[in-house]
Amino acid sequence: RALELDLRRALAEGQFELFYQPLFDLEADRVTGCEALLRWFHPERGMVSPGEFIPLAEEIGLIGALGDWVLRAACDEAARWPEHVRLAVNLSPAQFRDRRLAATVVQALAASGLPAERLELEITESVLLQDSASNMAILHDLKALGVRISMDDFGTGYSSLSYLRSFPFDKIKIDQTFVRDILDDADALAIIKAVLDLGASLGITTTAEGVESEEQLHELRRQGCGEIQGYFISRPKPAGEIAALLGVAA
């Protein structure tokens, strides 16, 4: 449990940093958003992956404080970006246990001056799976603020389709496992096509995650995909490098 003790101290010690990964609009042919991705620089272990410490933060009741910090820090940073660039922030199901989530978002927006329309909150279907009535109410509160709600990792869960009916999402993010196989697995391609059709029918944006090659990009463009994200465009990078990429004066 050494990691747990370290995690309890990490926020006060300033060991967290947000990296940002561009979202590239294929029609506009430019970056129109960036997703904040949390990094923990542990003094001895080096970088610890969020896949490791976020579940731990949830377990030990730290996700509330950590999630608040992420929202505030990310909104402050994004307020410096050009107006056409949105900010995407991941929310974990545990953050929905706090009824004040919408109030926290309001505060982060107000303190930073970032307009609500420029904030996208990414959730996975587990948010709708657990305590769905109360979580659904919070989601509607968030949406009423004017922020956009994206369904992350689409296609990996149990009933992603039914959740699309139960809440008016603004964006679907196709999980990277489908994109990875798009060139050599006819089924992966068929599923991506179907999800792009679905997004178009619902009138919402569909983003392909995990695009790593030009060939994948070309296939996605051919299929009419609107937005991509992945190492081919850019790896997640520190705030300063992203600001430079967006042409923000230092």
Q: Which is nearer to ligand G, 6 or 153 (CB)?
A: 153
Is the Cβ–Cβ distance between 72 and 32 less than 8 Å?
Answer: no
14, 51, 165, 187: residue in contact with ligand G (rule CB under 6 A): 51
**48 half-sphere exposure, CB direction, 13 A CA radius:** 19
Residue 236 as a binder of ligand G (CB under 6 A): the answer is yes
Rounded Cα distance, 210 and 228, in Å: 8
Rounded Cα distance, 158 and 215, in Å: 30
List binders of Na ion among 196-235 (CB under 5 A). 209
In this chain, which stretch among 34-42, 110-118, 127-135, 219-227 interacts with ligand G, using CB under 6 A? Answer: 34-42
In this chain, which stretch among 78-86, 87-95, 127-135, 240-248 interacts with ligand G, using CB under 6 A? Answer: 87-95
Residue 209 as a binder of ligand G (CB under 6 A): the answer is yes
Helix%, strand%, coil% for the chain, nearest 5: 45, 20, 30
35, 77, 125, 152: residue in contact with Na ion (rule CB under 5 A): 152
Q: Which is nearer to ligand G, 8 or 180 (CB)?
A: 180
Binders of ligand G: how many residues, by CB under 6 A?
Answer: 23
Is the Cβ–Cβ distance between 167 and 125 less than 8 Å?
Answer: no
* Residue 70 contacts which entry, ligand G, Na ion, Mn ion, none (Cβ below 5-8 A, type-dependent): ligand G
98, 170, 212, 241: residue in contact with ligand G (rule CB under 6 A): 212
Give the three-class secondary structure for 28.
coil
Q: Which is nearer to ligand G, 64 or 230 (CB)?
A: 230
The two three-digit tokens of residue 63, written as one number = 């996700």
9, 161, 231, 238: residue in contact with ligand G (rule CB under 6 A): 231
Rg (CA), the chain: 18
Residue 35 as a binder of Na ion (CB under 5 A): the answer is no
Task: Work out the number of other CB atoms within 10 angstroms of the CB of residue 182.
Answer: 23
- 234 phi and psi, to 5 degrees? -175, 145
H or E stretch covering 198: helix 186-202
List binders of ligand G among 159-198 (CB under 6 A). 176
- Is residue 225 exposed (0-12), middle (13-18) or buried (19+ Cβ within 10 Å)? buried
Residue 120 as a binder of Na ion (CB under 5 A): the answer is no
**150 half-sphere exposure, CB direction, 13 A CA radius:** 28
Minimum Å gap between C-beta 249 and ligand G is 27
Q: Report the interface residues with ligand G, using CB under 6 A.
A: 21, 36-38, 49-51, 54, 70, 90-92, 122, 152-153, 176, 209-212, 230-231, 236
Q: Report the interface residues with Na ion, using CB under 5 A.
A: 152-153, 209
